[in-house]
Amino acid sequence: MPDPTLTPTATPGATSPVTVRTPHGPVRGERRATGVRFLGIPYAKAPVGDLRFAAPVAPEPWSDTLDATSYGPTAQRRPFAEVTTIPEPTIPGASTLNLNVFTPAPYPAAQLPVLVWIHGGGFVAGSAASPWYDGSSFNRDGVVLVSIGYRLGIEGFLQLSDAPDNRGVLDWIAALEWVRDSIACFGGDPAKVTVAGQSAGGGAVQTLLATPRAQGLFRAAISVSGAVMEPQDRATAEAVSKLFTARTGVPATAAALRDTTDGELLALQDALGAPGTDRGTLPMLALAPFADGTLVPRPVPEALASGDTGANVPLMAGFTAHEFNAAPYPGSPDDDPAALLATFGLDERRTRIFLDTHAAHADQPAHLWGQAVTDTVFRAPTLAIADARARQQRPTWLYEFRRAATAAGVDGLAYHCADLPFAFDLLDAPGVTAALGENPPQELADAMHAAWVAFVCDLDPGAHWPSYTDDLRETMIWDDRPRVERDPLRPVREVWAVASSLAHAQSPAPAHTGVDA
């Protein structure tokens, strides 16, 4: 039961501002039409000085009321590109380990289900302050939404000999522990937490499912276009660290990096990621969670396939049909499709299946390359997780988002990030029209958002979406006409079941043009 000593000064009929007393101190939020939002609440001390590459440390209590009406600093110091699909503000400041709470009922007796959102950005960018992550529609439907910031790039994920591994993962866990200890003050039920994220955030969800220390901090999970690369072990992380030193001349240690400026650290990060023959077979996401043997005991795909951890946690997972098909093609329009697909590890038989499946684009190597990247990074790995969980009879719901955007540059594609405004029911958010085109269907947003709300509240997206089983493999197709199909992704399984790991190692990373990984 919530601690009665933490009863907030807010009442159901109060007007803004609204103050809530948390275990660390009082915070003042802003009332809106569907609830109250509290922005930039620190869940850990600012990661500066000796804490820059340390495990997150709980913030010191405060007595004066904290103004939580503006978003806090972001770990993102620059976006992926001038214009990204998702509007992702960069906010300066040191206290980047903060979170935002959107609640319809900021008082302990409410005991509402909670959705914790982890943003994407390839583990090197992204922002919890995006208007696409606003919790207003979830609040309208009785769900508390929490969006979190975490350390990115070198600070979060470069393996350092004198610092904890997977510092970004430790940040996610610290934020979830804050939710466990504090969310009742905001009307949430700590026993009814669902963790969710998209792209790198979906990879974060998968990583948390495979992390023993995170178990018990959430009861359900949603992985949206989850990106977890292979290989993802300590040897790979150490190889990245060696390459970092070779390319920059700077030791991969916290001591050497502690006092670098943000600009200097970004320059070092750029040097690590620059093209070169010494890149070898490093993964596309060089700075990302990895199996360190302790916090994350085993590579995430391996752990989830075996059911070692997170097996009984209900999982909703899926992807868009054309995740990275909008990325610029690095080759020539005259490239031979068969030779192109061979670089992804496909033999003649699998190449034939792939080309038959995409016959309408058989003479378009750019489309085929984008689809192969989409399959190897997103669709095949998530499908493998769903298949493994189905064999183990674990509660799983699989989807594919096919609703094509009509915006310039992505017309006809259901591309990366295009599903989020529908899931959040925010079709009027800034940037949505530019990303999706005019008049995206509200009916699809109603259906997707309702399924998410049902899953968060009841651990089941509803009767119209059956769970994914080993015999039927029923999959939700989100399109203008949502429908369930039996095993619609069979060609993906047949083509990539063997070759996906090889493709991860060999396929070039798509250049970034506003598509958030």
pLDDT digits (tens, 9 = 90+) for 208-221: 999 999 999 999 99
pLDDT digits (tens, 9 = 90+) for 196-248: 999 999 999 999 999 999 999 999 999 999 988 776 899 999 999 999 999 99
Candidates 323, 400, 449, 504; catalytic one: 323
Q: Read off the pLDDT of each residue in 260-282 and give the average, rounded to a whole number.
A: 84
pLDDT at 14 over 60: no
Backbone region of residue 283 per phi and psi (left: phi > 0; alpha: psi in -120 to 50; beta: other values): beta
Cα separation, 120 vs 323, whole angstroms: 13
Q: For residue 279, what pLDDT is reported?
A: 56
- For the record, the structure tokens of 516 come out as 């958030």
Q: For CA atoms 513, 514, 515, 517, give the dihedral sign.
A: positive
Q: How many CB atoms lie within 10 A of CB 2?
A: 18
pTM of the predicted model as reported, rounded to 2 decimal places: 0.93
Q: Is 199 a catalytic residue?
A: yes
Q: Is 323 a catalytic residue?
A: yes
Q: For residue 484, what pLDDT is reported?
A: 98
Q: How far apart are the first and last CA of the chain?
A: 39
pLDDT digits (tens, 9 = 90+) for 294-318: 999 999 999 998 888 888 999 999 9
Candidates 416, 449, 467, 504; catalytic one: 416
Cα separation, 493 vs 281, whole angstroms: 24
Q: Read off the pLDDT of each residue in 409-435 and give the average, rounded to a whole number.
A: 96
pLDDT digits (tens, 9 = 90+) for 107-163: 999 999 999 999 999 999 999 999 999 999 999 999 999 999 999 999 999 999 999
Q: Is 416 a catalytic residue?
A: yes
pLDDT digits (tens, 9 = 90+) for 113-129: 999 999 999 999 999 99
Candidates 130, 136, 137, 199; catalytic one: 199
Q: How confident is the model at residue 510 (pLDDT cuts 50, 70, 90)?
A: very low
Tell me the percentage of the chain whose pLDDT exceeds 90: 84
